[in-house]
């Protein structure tokens, strides 16, 4: 049974789109066919009504003509007693009967049908009287013609017939008008019912088609952002499921490569740390002249070695910190951190570097408390400020702002440096990425500072973004305040 049901499901986006198009078009096609049938039926009725109206008008005209002719023939016969006149009367009578039969074949009103019946009886009575006259002697009784004309006044009986035929045609026309109006109402209600149904079906199938595609897009964006822990499982047609399985296979491969990369970084960092420690100790022994007195040139070389070893040690520690940040899936410990007191400490740490390049920091800080790891938050903010100092011009200004809104702390760091190109705004958070703009400081970075800062922000359920700014770079950090992290699932 399940196998039979599986066969009825669409196996591709193309099939699903075809089914959706067919179902959306089906009510519209049904409405079109129904409209055609209703209009065709009404057209046939209107044609029949026009034909019957034409026949009724023609029959009423013939009746009036023959009645008048019969009255003249009756008068002539009563005077002349000519058999030819009587025969002409019979011919006229036959044409009258034919016209009356043609009119009676139509849908007549009750009054018109009664009037035709009365005219037929009077005409038959008049015919019998004329035949009686044909058997009388040549001289008729006095007053007989006048008596027959008064008793059998066919014209008076037939005169209302054209008017009643006109009324009948008007009634038919009104009935047709009412049918047209009823058809218009039916078509209107049909449109009001079927068009929304077609739109609803179109929307439903659009959602059925677009939802798995949006989920695939979200999965691809997660992979691009380096989120490799969430399995890719997207339901839908067969081709979408197959693509989902391929993406999940890609996620697993990327996860394996990421683990290998972290293991490599960890191994290299530790392998570098041991000989680096020995180098630093040897340089310090040389500078302290433990192994002998150094001249000025030798002391200068020892200082260069010392500075280079410190810089190398900082890079190795950055690698270790980045590797630890990647391995950490959630906050290990939590404590209350007052950002408005932490930020001045970080500014004071860079006091010498700021004074050396005559850079001023203007801070505007509101009180804000977070629950998180103090050292991670310190490193996050320290890296942002270090980045601003590195790219600030001599004598420049750095704006540092702390605001709270909607249960979040918003930290803005703005400098007057060359800014960040739009093409680099997402890549600056990638490990080891170095922008095209050279730093104003003589110290070249490792390309890990912003990557570590972004990782720590996300561990705190926050985010670092690049904002539009007239000149210089503007980095914004959004972090949930104390209490909001619990609601977001922070641990």
> For position 246, what pLDDT does the model report?
87
Tell me the C-alpha distance between 429 and 309, whole Å: 26
Q: For the domain with range 13-187, which CATH number is right: 3.10.20.600, 3.30.70.3270, 1.20.120.1730, 3.90.420.10?
A: 1.20.120.1730
Angstrom distances, CA of residue 352 to CA of 158, 208, 289, 308, 440: 126, 61, 29, 20, 16
Q: Quick one: three-class SS letters along the chain?
A: CHHHHHHHCCCCHHHHHHHHHHHHHHHHHHHHHHHHHHHHHHHHHHHHHHHHHHHHHHHHHHHHHHHHHHHHHHHHHHHHCCHHHHHHHHHHHHHHHHHHHHHHCCCCCHHHHHHHHHHHHHHHHHHHHHHHHHCCCCCCCCCHHHHHHHHCCHHHHHCCHHHHHHHHHHHHHHHHHHHHHHHHHHHHHHHHHHHHHHHHHHHHHHHHHHHHHHHHHHHHHHHHCCCCCCCCCCCCCHHHHHHHHHHHHHHHHHHHHHHHHHHHHHHHHHHHHHHHHHHHHHHHHHHCCCCCCCCHHHHHHHHHHHHHHHHHHHHHHHHHHHHHHHHCCCCCCCEEEEHHHHHHHHHHHCHHHHHHCCCEEEEEECCCEEEECHHHHHHHHHHHHHHHHHHCCCCCEEEEEEEEECCEEEEEEECCCCCCCHHHCCHHHCCCCCCCCCCCCCCCCCCCHHHHHHHHHHHCCCEEEECCCCCCCEEEEEEECCCHHHHCCCC
What CATH number is given for 335-487 in this structure? 3.30.565.10
Tell me the C-alpha distance between 309 and 299, whole Å: 15
Domain locations in the chain as residue ranges: 13-187, 266-327, 335-487
- Judge if 13-187 and 335-487 fold alike in CATH terms: no
> For position 2, what pLDDT does the model report?
44
The owner of tokens 């007239």 is 470
> For position 215, what pLDDT does the model report?
84
> For position 445, what pLDDT does the model report?
57
> Tens of pLDDT along the chain (491 residues)?
444 444 455 667 777 778 878 887 888 788 888 888 888 888 888 888 888 889 889 999 999 999 899 888 888 888 888 889 889 988 998 999 999 899 888 888 888 889 889 888 988 888 888 888 877 776 667 777 777 777 778 888 888 888 988 888 888 888 888 988 888 888 888 888 888 888 888 888 788 778 888 888 888 887 776 677 788 887 777 777 888 888 888 888 887 877 777 777 667 766 766 777 778 777 777 777 777 777 878 777 777 887 777 777 777 776 777 777 666 667 777 888 898 899 999 999 888 888 888 889 998 999 988 888 888 888 889 989 988 888 888 888 999 999 998 889 999 999 988 888 877 777 788 777 776 665 655 555 567 788 888 888 888 889 999 888 777 889 999 999 876 555 555 44
Give the pTM: 0.49
């Amino acid at each position: 049974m399940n196998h039979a049901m599986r066969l009825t499901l669409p196996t591709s986006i193309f099939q699903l789109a075809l089914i959706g198009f067919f179902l959306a078009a089906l009510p519209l096609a049904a409405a079109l066919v129904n409209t055609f049938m209703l209009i065709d039926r009404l057209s046939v009725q209107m044609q029949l009504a026009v034909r019957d109206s034409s026949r009724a008008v023609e029959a009423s005209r013939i009746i009036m003509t023959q009645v008048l002719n019969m009255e003249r023939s009756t008068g002539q016969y009563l005077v002349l007693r000519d058999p030819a006149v009587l025969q002409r009367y019979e011919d006229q009578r036959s044409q009258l009967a034919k016209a009356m039969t043609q009119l009676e074949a139509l849908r007549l009103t009750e009054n018109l049908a009664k009037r035709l019946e009365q005219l037929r009886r009077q005409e038959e009575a008049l015919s019998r009287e004329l035949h009686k006259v044909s058997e009388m002697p040549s001289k008729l009784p006095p007053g007989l013609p006048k008596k027959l004309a008064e008793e059998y006044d066919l014209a008076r009986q037939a005169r209302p017939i054209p008017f009643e035929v006109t009324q009948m045609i008007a009634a038919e026309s009104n009935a047709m008008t009412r049918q047209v109006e009823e058809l218009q109402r039916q078509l209107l209600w049909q449109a009001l019912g079927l068009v929304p149904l077609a739109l609803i079906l179109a929307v439903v199938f659009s959602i059925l088609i677009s939802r798995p595609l949006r989920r695939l897009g979200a999965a691809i964006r997660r992979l691009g952002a380096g989120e490799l822990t969430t399995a890719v499982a997207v339901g839908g047609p067969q081709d979408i499921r197959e693509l989902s399985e391929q993406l999940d296979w890609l996620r697993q491969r990327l996860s394996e490569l990421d683990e290998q990369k972290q293991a490599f970084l960890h191994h290299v960092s530790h392998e570098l740390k041991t000989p680096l420690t020995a180098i630093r100790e040897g340089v310090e022994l040389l500078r302290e002249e433990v192994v002998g007195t150094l001249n000025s040139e030798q002391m200068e070389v020892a200082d260069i070695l010392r500075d280079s070893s410190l810089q190398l040690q900082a890079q190795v520690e950055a690698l270790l910190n980045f590797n630890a940040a990647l391995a950490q899936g959630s906050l290990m410990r939590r404590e209350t951190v007052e950002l408005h007191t932490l930020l001045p400490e970080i500014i004071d740490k860079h006091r010498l570097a700021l004074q050396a390049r005559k850079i001023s920091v203007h801070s505007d800080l509101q009180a804000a408390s977070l629950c998180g790891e103090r050292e991670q938050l310190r490193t996050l903010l320290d890296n942002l400020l270090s980045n601003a100092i590195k790219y600030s011009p001599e004598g420049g200004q750095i704006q540092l702002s702390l605001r709270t809104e909607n249960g979040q702390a918003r930290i803005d760091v703005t400098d007057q440096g060359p800014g960040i190109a739009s093409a680099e705004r997402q890549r600056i958070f990638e490990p080891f990425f170095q922008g095209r703009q050279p730093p104003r400081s003589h110290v070249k970075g490792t390309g890990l500072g912003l990557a570590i800062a972004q990782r720590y922000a996300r561990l705190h359920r926050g985010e670092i973004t690049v904002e539009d700014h007239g000149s210089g770079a503007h980095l914004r950090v959004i972090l949930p305040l104390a209490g909001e992290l619990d609601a977001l699932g922070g641990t």
